[in-house]
Amino acid sequence: MELQAVEKSQAASSINNASECAKKIENEGFPKDFPATTKFANSEFPFVIIRLDRIIQNLSWIARSSRAMTILNNFMQRSAVPATTFDLLLVRRGETDEVKRQRNGIIKTMRVYLNGKIVDSRDAVVSVFDHGFLYGDGIYETMRVYDGVVFRLDQHIRRLFRSASLIGLSIPLDVDRLRIAIYETLIANALRKAYIRLTVSRGRGPIGLDPSLCAEPTVVIVAQELKEYPGSLYKNGIHLIISETRRNSKEAIDPHIKSLNFLNNILAKIEAKKKGAYEAIMLNVNGHLAEGTISNIFFYKDNMLCTPSAECGILDGITRGVVIELARTEGMRVREGKFTVKDIYAAGEVFLTNTTMEVMPVSNIDDRRYTVGSVSKLLRKLYREEVNAYISDVKAEGPSLWGENQ
Ligand code: PMP
């Protein structure tokens, strides 16, 4: 299978050797007329240089389209990837079995995005003076990838920028570059079903709280194979406790900030584990239900789907938003409000939501028992349908870069 529509610029044709060309580009940047893709058929192995930045600028679909990812993944299945930076993905094709084995080794080692470069996980190290490490000063997002497509990517990016702005942190990449970096990390790990963690910390600086001590934020993207929650949990439900640990008040640390400072939630999780429970529900300082340590909470009572409102001091989960939309579309009555432990104890069904667990039914809260009922089953099914529809839409979006027969 040959690449089609591969151009070759004058600048590229004057350098016959592909690795020489790659080195030159890495040192000096792309020559002015360097095209989006360049093939070097006369090298020992055929090489293709793909300018991710040009593809994005010209077609602006790669980050949203799994089509581009499929193409790049197809390359990778046959190719070593000797260099990949923001601007350059160098793919070597036609390698010997020996090289292929090495390449398999490369791909099996996790590769991590760190400050503009894809590095081996062993080299993905951050300074002990990073304020993320010293003070939990930073933010993050967790995303889920289905069949090579990041679900609701733009919403996650928007929330990341909101968290950044709430802590006065300037992310050193714009939205397009972040999208590229996320997909680049997925491609580098040849992943289609994955969990992604994107972290931006304040960066390295002398000891001291003042954020202006840190010149450059640290940006890390980790993509790993998604381990699904066991089916038995969805079938039987999980056990929760009402935690003694109160959720941080909005006036102290706004839970809208998806912050690296997670001790509040960790203390509640420790409590849950001690009591043999899977997750803890935290109340806010006024005694109203807030959220789980990594999840939002819903319950069904008196023909109404209820969930704590944003004023209760919660992270407005992306899954929570989707579930509310789906329930309303389905004609359910939904109430976002202030609720107490008594309200949830009296409910017929309870479930949790988050990006990786989706819709997870609850079997117990403390000594109360709940059935895994029709509402949580229906919303879990509708959520999956919504995911599938989203993935198909994204896949249908982009034009083919190299024609249908690549
Ligand atoms: N609340 C908290 C505290 C969380 O950490 C998470 C997980 N990100 C959620 C709620 C659920 O958010 P989402 O649906 O966006 O994953």
Q: Could you tell me if the CB of 320 is within 6 A of ligand 1?
A: yes
Alpha carbon distance 320, 298 (integer Å): 9
Among protein residues, the one with the nearest Cα to ligand 1's atom 4 is: 294
**Of 258, 273, 377, 395, which residue is the catalytic one?**
258
Cβ(178)–Cβ(141) under 8 Å?
no
- 258 catalytically annotated: yes
Give percent above pLDDT 90 in the chain.
60
Count the neighbouring beta carbons within 10 Å of the beta carbon of residue 316: 16
- Tell me the per-residue pLDDT of 169-194, one tens digit each, with 9 for 90 and over: 999 998 878 887 888 788 777 677 89
Alpha-carbon distances of 181 from 86, 152, 173, 185, 314, rounded to whole Å: 7, 16, 9, 6, 29
pLDDT at residue 26 tops 70: no
pLDDT at residue 371 tops 90: yes
- Tell me the per-residue pLDDT of 38-69, one tens digit each, with 9 for 90 and over: 655 544 444 455 555 444 333 333 333 444 44
- Write down the pTM of the prediction: 0.78
Q: Could you tell me if the CB of 202 is within 6 A of ligand 1?
A: no
Alpha carbon distance 394, 387 (integer Å): 11
pLDDT at residue 400 tops 60: no
Among protein residues, the one with the nearest Cα to ligand 1's atom 1 is: 295
Residues 6+ positions from 338 with CB-CB distance below 8 Å? 286, 288, 308, 309, 311, 312
- Tell me the per-residue pLDDT of 192-240, one tens digit each, with 9 for 90 and over: 789 999 999 999 999 999 999 999 999 999 999 898 999 999 999 999 9
All domains of the chain in start order, with CATH: 10-108 (no CATH), 131-227 (3.30.470.10), 231-391 (3.20.10.10)
- Lowest mean pLDDT: which of 37-51, 119-133, 227-241, 323-337? 37-51
Q: Could you tell me if the CB of 163 is within 6 A of ligand 1?
A: no
- Residue to mutate (ligand 1; options 283, 315, 357, 379; most atoms within 8 A of CB): 315
Cβ(264)–Cβ(245) under 8 Å?
yes
Among protein residues, the one with the nearest Cα to ligand 1's atom 5 is: 294
Per-residue DSSP letter, 67: H
